[in-house]
Amino acid sequence: MNNTLGRRAPLLLAILVLTGCFRLESARADSLTFSMDYGYSTSSSETTISETRNSDGTLKSSAATSQSSGDNFSQEYRLFFDKILYPSLVLRGGGSFTRIDSSGESDGVSSGVSTNIRKNPFLDLVLGSPVISASLGVNRYQDEARGSDGTRTFQTRDMYTASLGWRPLELPSFSLRTTHAESYDENRLTSNTVQDQLQFSSSYHPHRTTGLSYSANLDRNHNLLDDTEIRGMSQSGRVSYEDRFFRNLLNIASSYAVNQQSNEVISGAGGEFDIGVPFYNLKSYNESLSVLTPRQPLTSIPPNDPLFPVGAFPSTTISAPLVLPLTDPAIIEPLHIALDFGPEATTNVVRLYLPSDPSPDLPSGLSAASFTWKIFGVNANNEWQEISLQSVVYTSLYGERKFELRFPSQKAQYLKVVVTPLKFGNTPFNITTVETLYRQATATAGNKTTSLSQTYNLNLGSRIRLLENPGLDYNFSMFYRLSNPGNLYRLYVSNGSSLSHRLTPWLTGNVMFGRDDAMQTDQKDPDMAYRYGASFTAQPLPTLHSNLNYSGRTAQQSGTQLGSNSFSLNNRAALYPGLDLLLGGALTFASNATTKVQSESSQYNLGLSIAPHRTVSANLIGFLSSTSSQGGDRPDLTSSERRGQISVSYSPVSALSIFAAHDVVIRDEEIHTLQNYGMNWSPFRDGTLQVGLSYFETVQPESQALSRVFSPNLTWQIRRGTSLDLNYALSSSSTPLEETEIVTLSARLRVMF
């Protein structure tokens, strides 16, 4: 029956379209849009590998040169319409057709012409009102790949959706959504799966201080090729309370949540299957040479502060998308994504999802080889330790773009993914979703495997204002998590006080002291930490601002005594209208009494901003940092970094801006001199024509490869809805052993009616 339904999808779609267009003749079409998008790019590259010799002078490898080239022509057509059938009933539909023809040549050998075609028709019937909402939809993705050898493959996904929502005033609301999807190839020989999903959620606020919510997700994934079926169910219930008392002197907030996840696997004739692994917190940061952001070492100890849940289910959508750091013109730095699973969990797959295809933020030619990938666990010394990656694969199918990282199974509480971009200059894009999985082989055919896990989370928090002047607060928070099976628990309690007082009209002081206690399963002694700090903020003149900070921490963690102290001073002064000075520095001392390891780090920065005229501005930046580690059974480590930059911006008229920068970067005695230039010009008053020119140099931190990119570009808004983009890029990358030069020319025409 499922196969028959998949074959009848085009017929059902056609019937719905005809019904919406001809049956209700009196209805009026609200909108109809059609767009065309044409793109062409050609590129050529040449790589030269130098001759290398052994220490005794014998030849190790000969010099070699390789050349390659490629051409791409893309065309995309999109149609969208909506028709109001009744005041609250709308019919929406349309589709897209995309075709990409590619050809290439490597060292004189042609790869022929390959073609990728995507068809995506869809139709939705939507009912919307303030109280009730409903929808019916059908969507088809069909990807066709034609190889240069004449082979053709088809991948199709038919999706049918229905939803119902109820939002009455001051009563419980709910939403229900069901999805049926079939994914298969042309002859159902390599791909043939059926997915069914039912999602339900409800929320109710009986009082302004109280909230109740419940959600459930049932899914079924049936692989018809090997007859393996996976059934899953996840439920989550939450009660929350928040209120203020005594004219806001006492704030109380609490919540209790129960999460349950069950899976049933009915094994077929072999293969593998995936089980989602929930994680409860995600943290990310970029290592940066910015004078405002201190660098965080790769071996930094995982945080032991309370990690509150951000999602009870395996796939967590990031509220603020992680942006890969591709825009720094001087140093390309990695993005760190750290995951906390609460209690230890077993996982061997991490997926990073990009925005749905197509997206203007995604550079063309994207692949896993566009980045360097690393994944880390935590060793016995509570430090990040690299794990060998088995594979990294990038896929774009059915409108989804994702990277999948596969590694040996790890049972751990923390994992960290580190990704560093290699090629894409100043074209950023976002990671929108992170998913963690445990992939395993199916058992004997006909065998049934079941699993059930439950998690209970309790959060309590309060703040008491003890004094108004000076401002004295007491803060308390508690987090308790219990997970089954295994009866694994984690308890975190935090107590602290903070004092804030304006000492003089221009001087404010803050003092903080607190204690954190943590305990979890199989832990002999609880973790304990004292945290303390003080800061002073001074502004004796409107043009002078200064801030002095101290923070310290003494901890007993997993039987290890840890200590850290940090000092920082930042000053900002407006010496004269158009002349600003920034001066700052930071010192950090850390020690591990168990391993006898001590580390020190320092950072100093100087910045001068000059604007002698409204059309001219200049910046001088100096940065110095050093890190050292000694003691224990490891060799002493020392690293240093110095950087100086001068940049000038000139905009004589609003239609013209010019930028130039010169950087000197010294990393552990490796000296790099980098230059960056840019120009933007709009010759027409209405701004319909934009001409740009840029040149920038970058350094890869690991390979120390120096890259140069020269790129003129032009954007012409021919008329409303029609634009033309032209781009040229000449890039080169060099290391002591290898040099690569790439020339790229691209054009894109967009037309919308």
Q: Residue 293: which CATH number?
A: 2.60.120.260
Considering the domain boundaries, does residue 12 fall inside one? yes
Q: What is the pLDDT of residue 382?
A: 64
Residue 576 in any domain: the answer is: no
Query: How distant, in Å, are the alpha carbons of 300, 468, 503, 586 from that of 538?
Result: 32, 21, 10, 18
Would you state the torsion angle of the CA atoms of residues 200, 206, 209, 211, taken in this order, to the nearest 10 degrees? -10
Q: What is the pTM of this model?
A: 0.76
For 303, the domain range is 281-441
Q: Please, are residues 406 and 350 in contact by the beta-carbon 8 Å criterion?
A: no
H/E element, 593: none
Domain boundary among 441, 476, 509: 441
Domain C-terminal end among 123, 152, 187: 187
Looking at the domain assignment, is residue 329 inside a domain?
Answer: yes
Quick check: 636 and 629 in contact, CB under 8 A? yes
Average pLDDT of the chain? 82
Count of structural domains within the chain: 3
Residues 315 and 434 in one domain: yes
Please give the Cα distance from 414 to 382 (Å, whole number).
10
Please check whether residue 559 lies inside any domain of the structure: no
Which pLDDT tens digit goes with each residue over 667-700?
Answer: 777 788 889 899 999 998 888 999 999 998 877 6
Distance CA 32, CA 81 (A): 4
- Does 682 fall in a domain? yes
Distance CA 73, CA 70 (A): 10
Q: Are residues 291 and 154 in the same domain?
A: no
- Same domain? For 292 and 180 the reply is no
Is the separation of the CB atoms in 626 and 640 below 8 Å?
yes
Contacts of 580 (CB under 8 A, 6+ apart): 572, 573, 574, 608, 609
Contact at 8 Å (CB) between 284 and 338? yes
User: Does residue 617 belong to any structural domain of this protein?
Assistant: no
* Residue 22 and residue 169 in one domain: yes
607 inside domain: no
CA distance to 303, 563, 633, per residue, from 594 (Å): 18, 11, 11
Domain boundary among 420, 441, 462: 441
Q: What is the mean pLDDT of each run of 10 residues along the chain (753 residues)?
A: 41 40 44 93 88 74 85 93 91 93 88 90 93 95 89 92 94 95 90 93 93 93 87 91 89 90 78 77 51 28 31 40 44 72 83 69 62 81 80 83 90 83 54 84 72 86 90 91 83 91 94 90 82 94 94 82 88 92 91 81 91 92 86 79 90 92 83 89 90 85 76 92 92 83 92 91
Max Cα distance, the chain (Å): 90
- Tens of pLDDT along 129-181? 889 999 999 999 999 989 888 889 999 999 999 999 999 988 999 999 999 99
Give the model confidence (pLDDT) of 186-201 as tens digits. Answer: 888 888 999 999 999 9
Peptide bond before 470: cis, by omega within 30 degrees of 0? yes
Within-domain flag for 481: no
**Residue 68 and residue 104 in contact, taking contact as beta carbons nearer than 8 Å:** yes
Tens of pLDDT, residues 368-403: 777 788 898 877 666 678 899 999 988 887 778 889
Give the pLDDT of residue 290. Answer: 25
